[in-house]
Amino acid sequence: MATRHTQPRRQPSRKGSMADIPKDLLQEIKRLEDLFTVDTAKLKAITSHFQDELARGLSKEGGSIPMNPTWCMGFPTGHETGTFLALDMGGTNLRVCEINLPEEKGEFDIIQSKYRMPEELKTGTADELWGYIADCLQQFIEYHHEGEKLDKLPLGFTFSYPATQDYIDHGVLQRWTKGFDIDGVEGKDVVPPFEAALEERGVPIKLTALINDTTGTLIASAYTDSEMRIGCIFGTGCNAAYMEHCGDIPKLEHMKLDPNQEIAINCEWGAFDNEHKILPRTQYDIIIDKDSPRPGQQSFEKMVAGLYLGELFRLVLLDLHEVAHVKIFEGQDVSSLKKPYSLDASFLSDIENDPFENLSETHDRFEKALGIKCTKPELELIRRLAELIGTRSARLSACGVAAICLKKNYKTCHVGADGSVFNKYPHFKARGAQALKEILDWDKGRDGKALGKGHDPVEILPAEDGSGVGAALIAALTLKRVQEGKVMGIRDPEGMLKGTKAADPKSKEVAPESKK
């Protein structure tokens, strides 16, 4: 029987067979290695500056990293109970979830439906947008609760667009992203028009919490794992959230909060080092920034996030084609390589995942996607470049995690991570773990065990569903605070309970304190 692949399998992420590579290409590979490699000393310097910038974002003066207080106060105990809705408004879909938190610690049941977000809505009117979302919620409730008489269901709304919040049940949209451009919404609170659309249709829902997906990731992960301290997104963009003590947030001093009270901070750390003081930007990073819609902003994100990895790769290859002494892809039509953002992070993933010694999958991918036939030496350079870009992203990402650990003095903890780069990019987890080891000077794991295999002092693990379960949990925690009379950061505490099951003083909804 004939087998398809007779090529010897290639080891993942190794230097490859450099013996057959012409000297000029070898020199180029060496130059790229020098350009994209971030050594231990540089990682430590970046982490130290990152730590300072996190603190600056919490100061009265503020800094590049916004460090937004979310008014989600404290971690869940795992004993929350009740039924909650979650709404996740993404760029392509609208997801509605109903989450039931049973008596068992850290357990949940979920039913969910997805609704397509019509393209024309993204540039339509505000009334059309909120009306469509309210229609979807109404449809969901009618389908899952046909003929039932319902109390008002508390809703956690994952609104992952840049918004400022003075209260958890309020959010002023700073600017649209993800292809939305609806007039009359930016600079305004999104909650009143959303609630008006629900009211108009008689939908029995009360918005309890407006959250960001990163905060949701932190809370959902902490609900099922009590060691979770940080939530991260490594995807098209990048971000992190963690719990800070109110006493360590000078910009909230005027509110006279209990200094020991914890509040989740949505870092929005893609903006780290907008001043270009520390990150090792290459000429290619500078081009990406210059040609982006908002030059000078989101500097860290542009070096680590999935949206930019393929573009970095494309810019380097184009440069090497045009440099006289290298001239890769000589005599070939590279017009398809000249199209900005035509390669995404999955293109690099596929190259790094190519299991064959002669990189035949990479050869086929280039020919099919770009119409370029690569020589064996060119394929070796391509593979090495993908490794360098992917590795730099993981190592720089680890600096942010390490900075929060050092700021909070976490010697051991779990970090819940989500996003396409974390979940799908080859070796991202292992490269990040290696960088943490170098930055935090680990020589052994927990309980003196060897590092790796779940024994690293700080471990980055796949997160729970932040925009669904996380949003519902934050709604539960917010209602529980209202029941306890702790109403800081809640605009309408009375309205929040009105008509819900939690309004009944005998209600076990959002579990009482006695259930330890």
Cα–Cα distance, 321 to 332 (Å, whole number)? 10
Token pair for 349? 């993933």
Residue 199, judged by CB atoms within 10 A of its CB (0-12, 13-18, 19+), counts as exposed
Q: Is 24 tagged catalytic? A: no
Give φ, ψ of 145 to 5 degrees: -135, 45
Q: Is 31 tagged catalytic? A: no
Which position among 88, 169, 213, 273 bears the catalytic label? 213
The rounded radius of gyration (Å) of the Cα atoms in the chain is 25
Single-letter residue type at 74? G
- Tokens 């790229």 belong to 32
Which position among 14, 31, 116, 175 bears the catalytic label? 175
Single-letter residue type at 391? T
| Axis-axis angle for helices 376-408, 360-370 (nearest 10) | 100
Q: Is 160 tagged catalytic? A: yes
Pair 84, 108: CB distance under 8 Å: no
Single-letter residue type at 142? E
In DSSP notation, 369-391 reads: HH--PPPHHHHHHHHHHHHHHHH
Which position among 64, 160, 393, 507 bears the catalytic label? 160
DSSP letter for 172, please. Answer: E
Residues whose CB falls within 8 Å of the CB of residue 41, separated by 6 or more in sequence, listed in order: none
Q: Which residues are catalytic?
A: 160, 175, 213
